[in-house]
């Protein structure tokens, strides 16, 4: 047995649909248009999420390539490059610690059940010997500051 909806509610629903740019000859058709709209937005969102992952991968590839070029310049490289489109700066990133053997790590460096990496890093940076851990080399960090006007000087 079909559900009986008051004509006033149908009229309100049709007016709301018109505000959203959805048209139909009856309430069932309007419902179908909403379903189509929802499904198309969902598909678009899925496509955008995949595109975002591709762009992120491309962006990281460009950044790594630029860091490699700057690294290849060696002593010729300065800390700051002034280019027409952007100011580029390369800085040393923070040193972090790497666990070489969790079983050798003293208990004082644990927040059960996991090691406290911050505590390990602080101890290593203070030149303390921590069995089972070493400091890593700082990873360079690339900063790109876009210019609002390509002719602008820093």
- Find the mean pLDDT for residues 15-34: 81
pLDDT of residue 48 exceeding 90, the answer is yes
Check residue 62 and give its pLDDT.
Answer: 95
Minimal CA–CA distance to 88: which of 103, 110, 73? 73
Check residue 77 and give its pLDDT.
Answer: 62
Domain that holds residue 21: 1-77
Q: Is 124 a member of any domain?
A: no
Between 5 and 13, the higher pLDDT residue: 13
Q: Domains in the chain: how many in total?
A: 1
pLDDT of residue 107 exceeding 90, the answer is no
Q: Is 50 a member of any domain?
A: yes
Q: Is 144 a member of any domain?
A: no
Q: Is 66 a member of any domain?
A: yes
- Find the mean pLDDT for residues 118-127: 91
Q: Is 121 a member of any domain?
A: no
Q: Is 92 a member of any domain?
A: no
- Find the mean pLDDT for residues 84-102: 87
Q: Is 38 a member of any domain?
A: yes
> DSSP string spanning the chain?
-PPP--HHHHHHHHHHHHHTT---SSHHHHHHHHHHHHHHHHHHHHHHHHHHHHHHHHHHHHHHHHHHHHHHHGGG--SEEE-SSEEEEEEE----EEES-GGGS-GGGEETTEE-HHHHHHHHHTT---TTEEEPPPPEEEEEEE-SSTT---
Check residue 153 and give its pLDDT.
Answer: 57
pLDDT of residue 41 exceeding 80, the answer is yes
- Find the mean pLDDT for residues 115-120: 89
Check residue 138 and give its pLDDT.
Answer: 81
State the chain's mean pLDDT as an integer.
Answer: 85
Q: Is 126 a member of any domain?
A: no
| Greatest mean pLDDT among 16-25, 41-50, 62-71, 99-108 | 41-50
Check residue 1 and give its pLDDT.
Answer: 58
Structure tokens at 50: 């995949």
């Amino acid at each position: 047995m079909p559900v009986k909806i008051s004509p006033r509610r149908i009229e309100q629903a049709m007016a709301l649909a018109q505000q959203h740019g959805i048209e139909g000859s009856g309430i069932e058709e309007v419902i179908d248009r909403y379903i189509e709209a929802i499904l198309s937005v969902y598909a678009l969102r899925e496509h955008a999420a995949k595109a975002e992952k591709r762009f992120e991968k491309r962006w990281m590839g460009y950044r790594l390539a630029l860091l490699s070029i700057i690294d290849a310049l060696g002593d010729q490289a300065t800390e700051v490059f002034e280019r027409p489109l952007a100011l580029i700066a390369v800085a040393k990133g923070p040193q972090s610690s790497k666990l070489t053997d969790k079983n050798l790590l003293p208990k004082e460096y644990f927040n059960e059940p996991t090691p406290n990496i911050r505590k390990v890093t602080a101890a290593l940076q203070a030149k303390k010997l921590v069995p089972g851990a070493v400091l890593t080399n700082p990873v360079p960090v690339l900063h790109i500051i876009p210019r609002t006007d390509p002719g602008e000087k820093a």
